């Protein structure tokens, strides 16, 4: 309709009407584009909010997993330190059986943690990191996963190192089936298979090389704890930023 009137005005050389019609068309197009932009922004904000909430759930779950393993390494490091000091003081008989079992009956094969990565992987797959408008959140998100990959890359070498060292512990331990100390497996029929690990203090005290082995295992557990602490720190900072992003969205 507008184009028809515009054509008629041009034929009549009614330039005022022509200019008015052109302005109406331009303004209409501009308003239409603005409405489209507003709707796109609204959709993107809603999508961003959804991804941030999912990332926060994933991150908090990952924090618990990493924290558990970091605390496990720290606990074993403390137990090893206690045993080393007791050997120095010739008081190994006073070391609690729990600390001995915790240190000698562990396989020393550090496992990588399968962190919850569904949301992050999805964002990477669709090229959607730019949906996260806060640059600090984007940077910390990438830093957290880069830290996890770095830690995972260092585990195999540490695992080989520890496994070789742990072979020196074998002469001082004895595994007993059907012992009531520690459940290690369970059949589908619910019959419990139990195994107990006994540490021979007598042979331990007479082994001149065992202290050096324990010192190196203690250091390796400390390294693992440090790696997981780095990862935990990155995840906790990410969780804080994600929480703030959600809170700022609620307040606006």
pLDDT at residue 9 greater than cutoff 70: no
Residue 146: how many CB atoms within 10 A of its CB? 11
Which comes out higher in pLDDT, residue 150 or 192?
Answer: 150
Q: If pLDDT is split at 50, 70 and 90, which confidence band does 197 have?
A: confident
* 212-243 confidence digits (pLDDT tens): 999 999 999 999 999 999 999 999 999 999 99
Cα–Cα distances in angstroms (integers) from residue 92 to residues 75, 78, 85, 89, 213, in the given order: 18, 15, 9, 8, 16
* 182-193 confidence digits (pLDDT tens): 444 444 444 444
Q: Cα–Cα distance between 100 and 198 in angstroms, integer?
A: 9
- Nearest to residue 58, comparing CAs of 113, 127, 110, 134? 113
**pLDDT given at position 174:** 85
Going from N- to C-terminal start, the domains of the chain cover: 2-251
Q: Does the pTM exceed 0.95? A: no
């Amino acid at each position: 309709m507008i184009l028809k009137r515009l054509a008629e005005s041009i034929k009549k050389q009614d330039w005022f009407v022509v200019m008015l019609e052109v302005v109406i068309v331009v303004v209409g197009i501009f308003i239409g584009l603005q409405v489209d932009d507003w709707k796109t922004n609204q959709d993107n904000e809603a999508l961003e909010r959804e991804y941030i909430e999912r990332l926060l759930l994933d991150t908090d779950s990952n924090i618990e997993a990493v924290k558990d393993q970091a605390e496990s390494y720290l606990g074993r490091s403390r137990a090893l330190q206690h045993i080393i000091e007791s050997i120095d003081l010739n008081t190994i008989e006073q070391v609690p059986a729990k600390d001995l079992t915790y240190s000698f009956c562990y396989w020393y094969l550090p496992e990588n943690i399968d962190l919850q990565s569904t949301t992050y992987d999805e964002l990477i797959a669709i090229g959607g990191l730019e949906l996260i408008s806060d640059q600090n959140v984007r940077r910390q998100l990438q830093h957290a996963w880069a830290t996890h990959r770095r830690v995972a890359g260092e585990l195999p070498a540490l695992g080989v190192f520890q496994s070789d060292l742990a072979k020196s512990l074998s002469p001082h331990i004895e595994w007993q089936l059907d012992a009531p100390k520690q459940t290690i497996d369970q059949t589908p029929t619910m019959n419990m298979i139990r195994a107990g690990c006994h540490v021979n203090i007598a042979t331990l005290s007479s082994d001149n090389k065992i202290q050096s082995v324990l010192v190196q295992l203690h250091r390796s557990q400390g390294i693992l704890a440090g790696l997981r602490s780095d990862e935990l720190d990155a995840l906790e900072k990410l969780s804080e930023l994600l929480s703030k992003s959600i809170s700022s969205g609620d307040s606006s």
